Amino acid sequence: GENVEQHPSTLSVQEGDSAVIKCTYSDSASNYFPWYKQELGKGPQLIIDIRSNVGEKKDQRIAVTLNKTAKHFSLHITETQPEDSAVYFCAEERGSTLGRLYFGRGTQLTVWP
Amino acid sequence: DVKVTQSSRYLVKRTGEKVFLECVQDMDHENMFWYRQDPGLGLRLIYFSYDVKMKEKGDIPEGYSVSREKKERFSLILESASTNQTSMYLCASSPTSQETQYFGPGTRLLVL
């Protein structure tokens, strides 16, 4: 299956700045959109998710927005810190393949002190 | 906390060997998944399972098989390892649909 498009592939920001990663999907029946953070040597870990009946969700410095009309969703990290440096993956669950996730190719975020 | 464990963190095998990668989850999850992760390619699904003894092909099943004899255990088998199967292998589990997948720490496999 075709994967989610994720941009940018690399992102460098200064500590305290904001970072935004965007993903675009194609299936209008997609209903679940998680974001994962993968630190070096570890498996990906969920940081935030959103379902198709919600437009925005926030958890402290992290927020996700969903635009169903344009079929894209974005991760926003505010007041970035060096420990936010990691690879971030977006994913979608499609209506036709419940339980299975389709992943973006990842964004390497580097936060400079 | 959900725990997904994988039998090895690092593995070195020779071309042609049969390789078993084991994954165990402790949260009674229905769904289990095997991915491989390569630089620039993200996570690619090899096989997944919605229930015991059930399996579904993912995007890259060639050269792999799986076994799920018990709900908590999902094994990935490389019947005859080849150098292009050198990769990071990640196992994951989830309770049902529209729920997150929980990942293990990964097995880095090198095939010589």
Question: Residue A93's closest chain B neighbor by CA?
Answer: B98
pLDDT above 70: residue A2: no
Judge: A44–B45 Cβ closer than 8 Å, yes or no: no
Instruction: Measure Cα distances from B94 to B19, B48, B54 in Å.
Output: 25, 11, 15
Tokens matching residue B44: 């690619």
Q: How confident is the model at residue A103 (pLDDT cuts 50, 70, 90)?
A: very high
Q: Is B90–A99 a contact, with Cβ atoms under 8 angstroms apart?
A: no
The rounded distance, in Å, linking the Cα atoms of A68 and B6 is 37
**Is the pLDDT score of B83 beyond 90?**
yes
Mapped onto helix, strand or coil, the DSSP state of residue A84 is helix
- pLDDT for position B99: 82
pLDDT at B97: 76
Distances (CA, A) of B51 to A70, B33, B80: 35, 11, 26
Give A-chain residues touching B50 at CB under 8 angstroms.
Answer: 99
Distance from CA of A36 to the nearest CA of B (A): 10
Q: What is the mean pLDDT of residues A67-96?
A: 94
- The model's confidence at residue A1, banded by pLDDT at 50, 70 and 90, is low
Q: Under a CB-based contact definition with an 8 Å cutoff, are residues B34 and B76 in contact?
A: yes
Are A46 and B48 inside 8 Å of each other by CB? no
B74 touching chain A per CB within 8 A: no
What is the enclosing helix (H) or strand (E) of B11?
strand B10-13
**Spatial contact of A32 and A53, defined as CB atoms under 8 Å apart:** no
* Residue B103 binned pLDDT confidence (cut-offs 50, 70, 90): very high
Query: Residue A19: what pLDDT?
Result: 98
Nearest residue of A to residue B30 by CA position? A99
Please name which of A59, A9, A51 lies closest in space to residue A34, comparing C-alpha atoms.
Answer: A51
% of chain A at pLDDT higher than 90: 81
Return the closest-CA partner of residue A88 out of A41, A47, A52, A49: A47
Per-residue tokens: B45? 């699904």
Residue B16 CB burial class (10 angstroms; 0-12, 13-18, ≥19): exposed
Nearest to A1 among B59, B90, B92 (CB): B59
Instruction: Decide if pLDDT at A94 tops 90.
Output: no
pLDDT digits (tens, 9 = 90+) for A58-72: 999 999 999 999 999
**A20 falls in which pLDDT band (50, 70, 90)?**
very high
Reading the block at residue A88, the tokens are 């971030």
Three-state DSSP class for B8? coil
User: By the CB < 8 Å criterion, does B104 face chain A?
Assistant: yes
The per-residue pLDDT for range B9-62, each reduced to its tens digit, is 999 999 999 999 999 999 999 999 999 999 888 899 999 999 998 999 999 999
A99–B50 CB contact, under 8 Å: yes
Contact by Cβ (8 Å): B44, A2: no
Please tell me the distance from the alpha carbon of residue B69 to that of residue B21, in angstroms, as a whole number: 14
What would the mean pLDDT of A13-40 be, rounded to a whole number?
A: 95
Query: Given an 8 Å threshold on Cβ–Cβ distance, is B42 in contact with A1?
Result: no
Residues A98, B41: C-beta atoms closer than 8 Å = no
